[in-house]
Structure 1
Amino acid sequence: MTAADPQLPVVVVMGVSGSGKSTVGLLLAQRLGVPYAEADDFHPAENIAKMSAGHPLDDADRAPWLDAIGAWIKARDGRGGVVSCSALRRRYRDRLRADAPDLFFVHLDGPLELISSRLAARMEHFMPPGLLRSQFDALEPLEADENGTVVSIEGGPQAIAERAYEALPL
């Protein structure tokens, strides 16, 4: 497929912090030949400050962030794109899907211990490892009626991205 193909999907690579959304999302976008957007770049400064201080975001904090991501998704509809976004709760995914009903979610899934060790090794990111448990507690896995797939984070980034690619509705 090429970027000129009108059937390219818009994909949200979702999961808890440290699951590999940014790395896998970028690799997947490169494989598809479409733009990649990092959801963290859509956060207002207040959200980053709150998380940096060790406080989880609430739904009011997330609303403008999700709307900004949704606007990017809508602009890419029919032309393809990949965006990383935690999208932990069904209502967040529904909000993203509001203007893009064919949106496809790739849920990067793995055990708390593995993700925790990845977060501990990660440098220069505002998300403190102490908030990981709250993300697992908030996570609502994809439901049967949602357009998407679950991909294990076992193995290296290239292998994970390849499994995600193979699961896309191309």
Structure 2
Amino acid sequence: MLKYFDAICSESPVGIAEQHRILMGPWAHGGFGATQVGTSTQGELEFPEADGCSDDKANEFFQYYLLGADIDWLGNNPKYTYFQMGDMEWKGSEVWPVDGLTSQIFYFTDAEGLSETMPASDDSHSNIVYDPRDPSPTVGSCTLTEELGQGPYDQAPVVESRDDILIFTS
């Protein structure tokens, strides 16, 4: 989504580009049922701090642009508003990626873990036997059907318990 947003901003005429804003919440894109954008329940997780935020922001947007409300829409909303899931709070920034972020590279280990140290040998490997007639099921995530569940779900009971899955843990 951010690449599309950045493209819209860079291709918009001067005077319009700086008015664009993006809201990134802990939601499935679109969503069905309980996982609709702006709801607090997403899959098996709860984000009460995010409940109704998208509706509130949309309401402010329409009041400002359609009804001419005397509010500082642009000043009150940074270019990037995002929900920091670990902190469970909304944050904002005028730049993306936000200042202070660093990339971290992980490498797979023979012990089915993750390490920040590059393996000494290229001979490391892990094997599984996979049967395409018995595909791994979809459990939640970014699905396009309510029957498969949307959002975050515990993968352990259905997916991680299979013999044809490799799990690497940091």
TM-score w.r.t. length of structure 2: 0.29
Greater relative contact order structure (CA < 8 Å, 6+ sep): 1
Higher helix residue share: 1
**TM-score, reference length from structure 1:** 0.29
